[in-house]
Each structure stands twice: as C-alpha cells, then as structure tokens.
Amino acid sequence: MIRPLLGVVSIGVLMAASQAATQDVDTGAELYQHYCATCHGLEATGHGPMAGVLVIQPVDLTKLADENGVFPVARVVARIDGRDPLVSHGSPMPVYGPYFDGQDTSMKTPEGQPILTSQPIVDLVAYLETLQGQ
C-alpha cells in the first residue's frame, strides 16, 4: 500500500516542478519597454516621459537590490500584478496582472518561497533582476 502512495506523491512532485517557470530575460526586456518604460524610463532609473506628471515619482528599478539588501522578488511581483497597489497621480499604478491572465506559473523568492504568478511577470522580474547595480 505504501508503494502506490509513494508513486502518486512522486508524480505530484514532478508535476509541481514542471510548472516552475523558466525565465526569459529577452521577453522581459520587451515587456518592460512596452509596459514600464513610459514611467520608469528606458534605463529604468525612474525618469520616463510620464514621470513629470506623477505625484509619486517612479522608483529607480536598478537599485531595488541595493535598497532592500536582496532583490525583492515577492514585492516586485505583487506590485506588477496588483496585490500591492501603489497610488500615483491620483490613481493606482497600472496593474498588469489582468493582461497576463491565463499564463499561470510559479516562481520562487531567494528564500525558496513559491509565488503563483504568470509567465510574463516571471520574465519581467528576470529582466529587472539583470538591471541591478547598473
């Protein structure tokens, strides 16, 4: 009886592992240019063309790891998908989670905590991680 149960558990573990996202930095860069650069700028330093009209200035995305000690994966995912809203210029920062619905996957924080999100957000976060320290 134990062996069939172990087989079912093993299949479940393999299925969960196969759902872990692979990161595509190039796709993340394209998504950044399309969705984020207007406010955060081409260089991701917070100086996009819309920054001047925003009440809360966009952050310098190249310094997230420095300011937090480690790249804050969970916080970045939550800000992009709307779980951690930010009010700027009288309305919330655009939430892009709904644009990426239907592409569910998961990723992990540096501490190993899984986060349910979407593939485009995984790619965007991977790109943002490459900008740290620039």
Written as tens digits, the pLDDT of the chain (134 aa) is: 555 544 444 444 434 444 456 889 999 999 999 999 999 999 999 999 998 888 888 999 999 999 999 999 999 999 888 887 776 555 566 667 677 777 788 899 888 899 999 999 999 999 999 999 87
Q: Of 92, 117, 133, 91, nearest to 20 (Cα)?
A: 117
Q: Which helix (H) or strand (E) holds 39?
A: helix 37-40
pTM of the predicted model as reported, rounded to 2 decimal places = 0.77
Fold held by 22-130: Cytochrome Bc1 Complex; Chain D, domain 2 (1.10.760)
* Torsion sign, CA atoms 114, 100, 63, 22: positive
- Cβ partners under 8 Å of residue 60, min gap 6: 44, 45, 46
